[in-house]
Chains A and B, each alone.
Chain A
Amino acid sequence: GAGVSQSPRYKVTKRGQDVALRCDPISGHVSLYWYRQALGQGPEFLTYFNYEAQQDKSGLPNDRFSAERPEGSISTLTIQRTEQRDSAMYRCASSLSAGQGNTGELFFGEGSRLTVL
């Protein structure tokens, strides 16, 4: 596609439910990143893939959070047994070459806003 596409744009769920957030990167982009942005704060790194391989998941807050990118394209971020503190904007980004975070050449989607009641 023309840009990074995320869905759903808005998700309201009840505490304890599982949610899945989807990211469709720019076609041909090797790397895919997930960031989380709490209200009034900047994005914080969650995890990163090169192709289908998860290179770093050190930013995932706990084991309720997981991510996959099974075919090296679309990625899903899953949050199990959601809690109110999980409420945030979840942002996906992609880059053309592997590991371009340091060059800043990341292309971000519009984000998925999650609200846990």
Chain B
Amino acid sequence: GNSVTQMEGPVTLSEEAFLTINCTYTATGYPSLFWYVQYPGEGLQLLLKATKADDKGSNKGFEATYRKETTSFHLEKGSVQVSDSAVYFCALGTNDYKLSFGAGTTVTVRA
């Protein structure tokens, strides 16, 4: 079946540090891959996505590249801000409506 494994947290960083959150997946067929983010007191929202191998998704300074050979979709940001403190979820979709999520990684950025 489909599954997503992402780096366990929590992760604590200083402002302007480099962030990477690892995500690997198992899926049949050709999944689309996503990163969702949940800011405190809000619902999950789509951060970025990639729908085929070698695609790079990017948004708000975050990037992730769909690597089929390593079945990975690692999230990176070069210089984090306090406002990036949130829970980040890696997810995949292989049909037209279901998403499979990872367990989430809590990121705290200190000023």
Interface residues of chain A, those whose CB is within 8 Å of chain B, are: 3-4, 31, 33, 35, 40-45, 48, 55-56, 59, 91, 93, 98-111
Contact = CB atoms under 8 A, between A and B. Distances in A.
Chain A CB within 10 A, most for which of B4, B44, B102 = B44
B97 A104 contact: no
Nearest to A44: B101
Interface string B62-96: 00000000000000000000000000010101111
Nearest to A102: B93
Interface string B1-33: 000100000000000000000000000000010
Most buried by B among A31, A33, A105, A106: A106
A99 B97 contact: yes
A43 B97 contact: no
Interface residues of B, number: 26
Contacts of A59: 98
B35 to A, nearest CB: 9
Contact of A100 (B42, B45, B91, B97): B97
B49 A43 contact: no
Counting chain B CB atoms within 10 Å of each CB, which of A44, A99, A103 scores highest?
A103
B104 A104 contact: no
Interface string B31-54: 010101000011111100101000
Contacts of B43: 3-4, 91, 93, 107-111
B97 A33 contact: yes
21 contacts: A31-B97, A40-B103, A40-B104, A43-B101, A44-B101, A48-B97, A59-B98, A91-B43, A99-B97, A100-B96, A100-B97, A101-B93, A101-B99, A103-B49, A104-B46, A104-B93, A105-B46, A106-B44, A106-B99, A108-B44, A108-B45
Nearest to A33: B97
A12 B43 CA distance: 20
Contacts of B4: 42
Nearest to B8: A40
Given A41-B103, A42-B4, A42-B104, A101 B46 contact: no
